Chains A and B, each alone.
Chain A
Amino acid sequence: MQTVDGVVLVDAEAEELLGSGTELPAVEAPHVELPRVVAAAQSGATIVAVVARRPPLAISRDSGSTWSEAGGGLPAGFAVAVAEDDPDRMLYAARNRLYVSANGGVFWRALPFELPDVLAVAWID
C-alpha cells in the first residue's frame, strides 16, 4: 500500500507487515457515476467504490449498471483494491487500518496493525 511515509508491503493472509516496497503496480481506476466517490477499483465486471457516506462501499457486479451498498461495519475509507484473478478478494483502507474480504465484501477482517495514513492499495500476487 502507498502511505504518506512510502510503500509498505503486507501479507494479507498471514496478517504480517513485510517491510518497505518501492512502488505500487499501476492500476487504472474505473469511471464511476456515483456521488461522493473517494476511490474505486475494478476486476472484470466487478467495481467497488469507496464513497463518503454510510455505509462506505458500493459494489457493482455488472460494470456499474446496478449497485448495492456494503461494508456497514467499516469506518470511513480512503482506498480500495480488487484482486485481478478473483473479484471476491478485496482490500479496503481506512485512514490507517487495512481490511480484507474474501467473499465479495460481505465479511471483512481487520488486519491487526496501524499504519501511517494510507493513500492507495493494490494486490500483488
Chain B
Amino acid sequence: MRPLGVIGHLSRDIVAGGRPRLGGAPWYAGRALRLLGDDAVLFAKCGEDDRARWQRTLAAIGLPASLSTGGETTSFSFRYADDGSREMRVEQVGQPWRLDEPPSGLLRRVEALHVAPLLRSDFDAAALERLGAGRRLLLDAQGLVRVPQEGPLQLDAEYDPEVLRRVSILKVSEEEADVLAGGDVEALADLGVPEVVLTLGERGSIVIVNGVAETIAARPVGPSVDPTGAGDAFSSAYLAAREAGHAPASAARRATALVAAVLLKRAS
C-alpha cells in the first residue's frame, strides 16, 4: 500500500504573547502518524525565512518531508480572556499552494491525502483537483470557512463549492459546522461530500455517511490537557484507518483512541 500524505502550511503561533511556536497539520498530524507507525509523507509550506529552521524540525519527526517555500509564513496569535474565551488573530497570510507544489514525483507516492488548510486561500479548486486526482482526499473545513485576512479571525461560508468536487471526506469542527450548516447535522450531509466527520471535542464525534449519522464517544483525557493539534491528529488517523479498510465509524474510534494517546503523551 502506498503511504498516506499530509499537506498544509506550517504556521507561526504566538500564544499569549509568548515565543512563537510551530503549528500546522504537517507538524501535529505528522507526529501522530509517527506514533501510529504509519508510512506517511509530509508536504509543508512556509515563508523563505523559516525554511532552514523548520526543515530540521520537520525532519526530526522521522517521516519523509517536502518543504515548499514562498511569501511569508502564516502566523496566528492567541489571547485568552479572564472568562477563558480565546481570541484568535491572523497576523500574516501565507502564500497559497501553487499548482506545481508539491512536485508530481513526490505526490505520486501517496495513496490518500489529508489536506489541511489554515485559511481559505491556501488551496483553490484547481489545486485540490490536482491533489485529488487518483487518490482519496480528506479536507479540513478550516479551508472552507476561515477568511484569509489579517486581523481577528473571521469565519464565513463564502467558499467556492468547486473545492469540494474531489473531496471524499470532510472533517468539520463544531464551530465550522455552525458556519456551514447552522449546526444542523443533517444539513452537513447536504454539502455534497460522501463522508463528513464532525468533531465535538470532549463529546466525541459524529460520522455522517450515506444519510446515516453515528456518534462516537470521546476518550476522556482530563481538563488540563492542551488540545492544540488534536483535530489534525484525528484527521490523519481517521484517513489512515479508512485506507486500511476500516468502516467510517470504526475509523473514527481508532482516531479517537490515537488522539487520546497523543494528548496524554504530551501531558505526561
Contacts and interface: CB of A to CB of B under 8 A. Distances in A.
A107 B210 CA distance: 8
B217 interface: yes
Interface in B197-239: 209-215, 217
Interface residues of A, number: 13
B183 to A, nearest CB: 15
A99 interface: yes
Nearest to B214: A110
A72 B217 CA distance: 24
Given A103-B186, A107-B186, A73 B215 contact: no
B186 A99 contact: no
Contact of A108 (B211, B215, B217, B249): B211
Contacts of B210: 72-73
Contacts of B249: 110
Given A72-B210, A99-B212, A106-B211, A112 B217 contact: yes
Interface string B14-31: 000000000000000000
Contact of B213 (A71, A103, A110): A110
Nearest to A105: B211
B205 to A, nearest CB: 11
A74 B217 contact: no
Contacts of B211: 71-73, 106-108
Nearest to A99: B212
B189 interface: yes
B217 to A, nearest CB: 7
B209 A73 contact: yes
Interface in A90-121: 99, 103, 106-110, 112
Nearest to A102: B186
Interface in B47-66: none
A74 B249 CA distance: 12
A73 B194 CA distance: 11
Contacts of A112: 214-215, 217
A109 B207 CA distance: 10
A102 to B, nearest CB: 9
A103 B190 CA distance: 14
B186 A110 contact: no
Nearest to B206: A109
Contacts of B217: 112
A106 to B, nearest CB: 6
A77 to B, nearest CB: 12
A110 B212 CA distance: 7
A107 B214 CA distance: 11
Interface of A: 15, 71-74, 99, 103, 106-110, 112
Given A107-B186, A109-B213, 20 more contacts: A71-B212, A73-B209, A73-B211, A74-B212, A99-B212, A103-B186, A106-B211, A107-B189, A107-B212, A107-B213, A108-B212, A108-B213, A109-B212, A109-B214, A109-B215, A110-B212, A110-B214, A110-B249, A112-B214, A112-B215
Identify the 3 closest CB pairs spanning chains A and B, nearest first.
A73-B210, A73-B212, A110-B214
23 contacts: A72-B210, A72-B211, A73-B209, A73-B210, A73-B211, A99-B212, A106-B211, A107-B186, A107-B189, A107-B211, A107-B212, A107-B213, A108-B211, A109-B185, A109-B212, A109-B213, A109-B214, A110-B212, A110-B214, A110-B249, A112-B214, A112-B215, A112-B217
